[in-house]
Amino acid sequence: MIRYAARAVPWPLVAAVCALAPVLMAIVAAWPESMWPLQGATIGLLAAAAAWSMDESAAAVVDSLPRSLRWRTAARATAVVPLALTWAGCILVAGDRLPPHAGVFLLQGAAALLFAVAVATWRRAGGSATPGMRLGSATVGIAAVVALVRPLPDALPLFPIWDFEAWTRSLVLWSGLAAGSAVLLAAALADRRIAYARGRWRSSCAT
């Protein structure tokens, strides 16, 4: 598994994101009033790297091999570890320069990473070779726009900043996203759809 993860995960990309995230969050911590949208962009960037790590450009071959989607996803999910640690480090180092809701911030990163892995894995189970590329690009843009525009700040406080905002509701929303993502990931790792695709691939080769 270690050998597969070393070759399959785009580690240079993961390392670049891990290096960029602290820079963006340092800017946020220095000028939170004007640069807060970068917080959403940072979360989107981390999630995008996680999604990209699930891509399999050689899916036509790999999906026909005995290794299950569960095994390959577990190997590729090692990319989430440095991404999650980077986000946690950003929050801990920023300290009191951010609003006093470290738990919400940590949950935002964890839920976003889990969401990215779950959706990309679900698409991989459906036979898509590189879903993370499109998902990752969309995630960065959507997260940045939501953090900038902040639509429905009372009903949908995804990226709250001020003390008077609905931090508890934000915690509930991100917890719900994490729970839903966990369910989706479990369903994807049931491996039924990829098994069906694998069987069709073998049948076409036999004929």
HEC string of 170-182 equals HHHHHHHHHHHHH
Quickly state the pLDDT bin for 126 (edges 50, 70, 90): confident
The mean of the pLDDT values for the chain is: 85
Q: Is the pLDDT of residue 201 over 50?
A: no
pTM of the full predicted structure? 0.87
Q: Is the pLDDT of residue 204 over 70?
A: no
Q: Is the pLDDT of residue 96 over 70?
A: yes
Quickly state the pLDDT bin for 149 (edges 50, 70, 90): confident
Which sign does the torsion angle of CA 81, 86, 89, 94 carry? negative
| pLDDT tens digit sequence for 101-119 | 999 999 999 999 999 999 9
Q: Is the pLDDT of residue 66 over 70?
A: no
Q: Tokens for 99? A: 């609003």
Residue type, 176: G
CA distance 63 to 77: 17
Residue type, 106: L
Contact between 83 and 53 under an 8 Å Cβ cutoff? The reply is no
For the chain, the first-to-last Cα distance in angstroms comes to 33
Contact between 79 and 177 under an 8 Å Cβ cutoff? The reply is no
Q: Is the pLDDT of residue 17 over 90?
A: yes
| pLDDT tens digit sequence for 75-95 | 889 999 999 999 999 999 888
Considering 52-66, 143-157, 181-195, the range whose residues carry the highest mean pLDDT is: 143-157
Quickly state the pLDDT bin for 207 (edges 50, 70, 90): very low
Q: pLDDT > 70: what percent of the chain?
A: 87
